[in-house]
Structure 1
Amino acid sequence: MDSKTVAAPAADIEQPGATGMFAWYADTGPRERHAFWSCKVGYMLDGMDTQMLSFVIPTLVATWGISLADAGFIGTLTLLTSAAGGWLAGILSDRIGRVRTLQITVLWFALFTGLCGLAQSYGQLLAARALMGFGFGGEWTAGAVLIGEVIRARDRGKAVGLVQAGWAIGWGAAALLYAWLFSVLPVSLAWRALFIVGLVPALLVLAIRRYVKEPEIYRQARAAQKDNGEPPRLVEIFSPTLLSTTLRAALLTTGAQGGYYAITTWLPTFLKTERHLTVMGTGGYLATIIVGSYVGYLSSAYLTDRLGRKPNFILFAVGSMAIAFAYTSLNLSNSAMLWLGFPLGFFASGIFAGMGAFLTELFPTRVRGSGQGFCYNFGRAIGALFPFLIGALAKQYGLGTSIGLFAVAAYGVLIVAALTLPETRGRELEST
């Protein structure tokens, strides 16, 4: 029989120490801590490598004379390949193991980020960045499944959310590296050096290889598969037993990522061109968003265990809707816009902190990687289309209205999906 999930006793969920943001860490052993830090550092470096492109786009436009559309296409293609890479990594993690897949994906995105710095033409950069996307998407899936299976049920949301928070730290690291390299090197070399620094994550593979072990529940599931001769199949997540869960979980992630891309991709352009605000291009505004993102991740990680998975998603979706309304409908000053960057990062990023734990708990162990990889990256692929659709609709309805419509629709879909899915807070993962 496949792995299954069962609800933990309520007393276990509310046990003293279980609700503290960091108290759970003291009760973990070396296996859990090694997995936690490997995944967290992996997410930090993943975020750092991924965000580098946003900082060098103006330099590429000026140096190579490419259009904004060409520059934007690099980002879109990276998102699409990352969606494919995430699904593939999920399948691999069920077949060859969570840890081995994590090693492969980290090495992959580090290698191709470094190669971006050696590109001699737009076509070479596009190819290197697209290939980097496979590893960037795959690392999220492998890391989320690994940490979700290693940490006990009552602390899973906090632990996985804290790992996810590494993304904001990586984003901040990319911003600091950009500021430093562009201050000490000529522009023609600085952007290349920034990408080449992206090779550093490859060193993490050495630590993962030495210290991180496969989760015990996965080892049990693999042993059972060998005994009965039934390896996991790709189409299993679309079987009658799991199809409804797969579709609803895919809608949940589509809402989260579609809303995120709807707000973050076009807001700077809207506020610069239609509201004529200058704060958008400042380092202070970027820093405010990054700090808001990190605090949002931490808060959501705590609340997803405290309130439950579904209430937490709905809370952050409503907050994101409110932010989209404020940005597109209110007449805001530069000062107000600067401070609004904090709740923008808080809600739009924080909503993702509970995603890994929730998807881990929705799928049985034998196909957990496939299910989690497909659902999260289906959402990423569809969400990547939102910026294009908003741009097309803006010709008729205006950019602000289009952003608002798509944001409300996306988060509305998330809320509906969350209401129809089961609550999984405190659910134990078992293999039989």
Structure 2
Amino acid sequence: MYPTRPGTMFLAPFRRLTPLQRRAFGACFWGWTLDAFDFFILTYCLDSVAATFHVDIKTAAEAFFWTLCMRPVGALLFGYLAERYGRRRTLMTVILCFSLFEIASAFAPTFGIFLFTRALFGIAMGGEWGVGAALAFETLPSEGRGFFSGLLQEGYVCGNLLAAAAYGLIFPLLHGHGFLVNWRLFFLIGALPALLAFYIGSRVEESPAWKTRKLEAAPQPGQPKPMNIAGAILHNLPAFLLLTLMMTAFMSFSHGTQDLYPTFLKHDHGLTPRTTSWVAIVGSIGALLGGICCGTLSERFGRRRVMVTAALCSIPMIPLWAWSHAAAMLALGGFLMQFCVQGAWGVIPVHLNELSPAPVRAIFPGLAYQLGNLLSSKNGPFQAELADRFYHGHLTPVLAWTVLVIAIAVALLTGFGRESKGADLSTV
């Protein structure tokens, strides 16, 4: 059991790690954080992007679709490379790619080219989660795995937090004159994660499980032993399909409460960019705490039970989150809502890795995760369309219905799955 004194509860798991394990986890956490920062930059600048290219919000939201729908391609491509050439080298490649495509987005001269660059970014983003999670959990000890799962997944929230802070601090200072201003500047800032690749190359070691497997899989003379990735997935097809459906619900849960929320705050409630920023930051803090707390609780109560409970607890938060009028109450609602949403999400990295067959641990969870993204990739445009068609452009009722329906779906699909807490991830 970890110490429970204030200030030691969250430090104890780190103290148990070796320097090698700390560096591996840190690289994976920051890779996911900076990847999410690059994604969430668009959620805060969506109206500015729409104005630049002379399109409406619904059309501009298609950029979310192209990013999300291309993520399975990245999960498949980079997952395969990670199984064959190693997690560390592939993670470096992924980070360099999404930084390059972020720069390309900043220089897009037309909306069509902007959508193309966001699709390319989606391929790189799709590879980061599965490869990074495999490297992390194959390196970390089994004790405290739930805590590290919650913290790793909330790298996504930390990316949102950084994007909100950058938007609130920098955007009000820009004046909109010239080419590289407003949202384009934020996309250039989003290229900084490329520096992380050099750190990984010099300080992070390869997954011990992958190195062991490569040694054991070395073909003997006259007896080749090829890796059968497709066979491993087909052998576990029912579990893979259930995980894909579960991740579709989880993606709708997350993106349905996040992607259009800054636009909702500005358009439905008339909040300024600075106020929108701090409301989003408060929500992100709730998300971060929810992911870590629920991930840690899953060590004691089981993965599925904690995810189902967190998802259902989001439903009572709907009135405060969506229907409040004062900025302070909206911030409180955002804190509680994201505590529940990302609390359920915090268990996902370890849960998917524990359920995955050892020979395809870099591709199996990542592909299910990103196929869920594909199946929910029209979420943003769909929400915007519903708001335009039935509610005169107001997002409030659409966001409220999204949470109600999707929280129930998350609870049901998670409950139908199996529990595999404590599975040995050092096996190959």
TM-score of the aligned structures, taking structure 2 as reference length:
0.87
Q: Does 1:380 align with 2:373?
A: yes
- Structure 1's unaligned 5+ residue stretches are 1-13
Which residue pairs with 1:205 in the alignment? Answer: 197
| 1:336 to 1:186, Cα distance in 2 relative to 1, 3 A | closer
- Give the structure 2 partner of residue 303 of structure 1: 297
Question: Cα distance 1:415–1:117, how it changes in 2: closer, same or farther (>3 A)?
Answer: same
Does the alignment pair 1:233 with 2:242?
Answer: no
Once the two structures are TM-superposed, the CA of residue 174 in structure 1 deviates from its matched residue by 2.1
For residues 316 and 280 of structure 1, the distance between their equivalents in structure 2, rounded to whole angstroms, comes to: 31
Q: Structure 1 residues 385-394 or 418-427, which shifts more?
A: 385-394
Q: CA deviation at 1:387?
A: 3.8
How many corresponding residue pairs? 414
How far 1:377 moved relative to its partner?
A: 0.8
Identify the residue that residue 415 of structure 2 maps to in structure 1: 419
**In the superposition, relative to structure 1, how do residues 198 and 393 fare at CA in structure 2: closer, same or farther (>3 Å)?**
closer
Larger mean CA deviation between 261-270 and 375-384 belongs to: 261-270
Deviation at 1:208, TM superposition (A): 0.5
Q: Distance in 2 between matches of 1:16 and 1:336?
A: 34
Per the alignment, residue 131 of structure 2 pairs with 142
Mapped partners of 1:268, 1:213: distance in 2: 39
Equivalent in the alignment of 1:371 = 364
Distance (whole Å) between structure 1 residues aligned to residue 282 and residue 269 of structure 2: 16
Q: 1:103: Cα distance to partner? A: 0.7
- The 1:339/1:377 distance shift into structure 2, 3 A limit, reads same
How far apart are residue 343 of structure 1 and its match? Answer: 1.0
Taking the aligned partners of 1:263 and 1:178, their CA distance within structure 2 comes to 19
- Stretch deviating more after TM superposition (333-342 or 158-167): 333-342
Q: Percent identity?
A: 26
Equivalent residue number for residue 186 of structure 2? 194
User: Structure 1 residues 200 and 392, CA, compared in 2 at 3 Å: closer, same or farther?
Assistant: closer
Asked whether the equivalents of residues 181 and 193 of structure 1 are also in contact (C-alpha less than 8 Å), the reply is no
Q: Give the partner amino acid of 1:384.
A: S
Which of these residues, 327, 335, 359, is aligned with residue 352 of structure 2? 359
- Deviation, 1:213, is 1.5
CA distance in 2, matches of 1:256, 1:194: 28
Report the AA paired with residue 236 of structure 1. G
Determine if contact 1:217/1:365 at 8 Å carries over to the other structure. no
Question: Residues 102-156 of structure 1: CA distance to partner in whole angstroms, max 9, x if unpaired?
Answer: 1111000011111222222222222222211111121111111111111111222
Partner of 1:108: 97
Aligned positions of 1:59-74 closer than 5 A: 59-74=48-63
1:161-310 to structure 2, matched below 5 A, reads 161-187=150-176, 188=178, 189-190=180-181, 191-227=183-219, 229-240=224-235, 242-265=236-259, 277-279=269-271, 282=275, 283-310=277-304
C-alpha contact 2:253 2:407 (8 A) present in aligned 1: yes
Q: What amino acid maps onto 2:243 in structure 1?
A: A
Aligned-CA RMSD value? 2.8
| SS at 2:128 equivalent | helix
Aligned AA for 2:248? Answer: T
Are 2:72 and 2:370, in contact at CA under 8 Å, matched by a contact in 1? yes
C-alpha contact 1:152 1:428 (8 A) present in aligned 2: no
Q: How big is the shift at 1:268?
A: 6.3
**1:396 Cα shift?**
8.0
- Is 1:428 matched up with 2:424? yes
Which residue in 2 is equivalent to 1:8? none
Q: Does the C-alpha gap of structure 1 residues 70 and 420 become closer, same or farther in structure 2, counting only changes over 3 Å?
A: closer
1:427 aligned counterpart, secondary structure: coil
SS of the residue 1:351 aligns to: helix
Which residue in the other structure is 1:49 paired with? 38
Measure, in 1, the Cα distance between the counterparts of 2:368 and 2:184: 34
- Check 1:393–1:201 CA distance in 2 against 1; reply closer, same or farther (3 A cut): closer
Task: Tell me the distance in 2 between the aligned counterparts of 1:417 and 1:388.
Answer: 24
SS of 2:424 mapped into structure 1 = strand
Taking the aligned partners of 1:95 and 1:71, their CA distance within structure 2 comes to 38
Counterpart residue number, 1:7: none
Residue aligned with 2:226, SS: coil
AA aligned opposite 2:306: N
Letter in 1 for 2:192: V
Residues 109, 358 of structure 1: alpha-carbon distance in 2 compared, 3 angstrom cutoff: same
Query: Are 1:157 and 1:354, in contact at CA under 8 Å, matched by a contact in 2?
Result: yes
Change (3 A) 1:348 1:244: same
More displaced, 127-136 or 174-183? 174-183
Cα deviation digits, residues 171-228 of structure 1 (max 9, x gap):
2222333344435544243332221122211111111111212221122222233246
2-side partners of 1:280 and 1:164: how far apart?
A: 29
Query: Per chain length, whose mean CA-contact separation is higher, i.e. which structure has more relative contact order (CA < 8 Å, sep 6+)?
Result: 1
Q: What is the deviation of 1:165? A: 2.0
Verify the 8 A CA contact 2:62 2:381 in the aligned structure 1.
Answer: no
Name whichever of 69-78 and 52-61 sits farther off: 52-61
Partner of 1:98: 87
Per the TM alignment, residue 278 of structure 1 is displaced from its structure 2 partner at its CA by: 3.6
Alpha carbons 1:88, 1:373 under 8 Å: kept: no
| AA matched with 1:418 | T
Mark the CA change 1:372 to 1:280 in structure 2 (over 3 Å): closer, same or farther.
farther
Aligned ranges 1:383-422 → 2 under 5 Å: 383-390=376-383, 403-422=399-418
Say whether 1:38 aligns with 2:27: yes
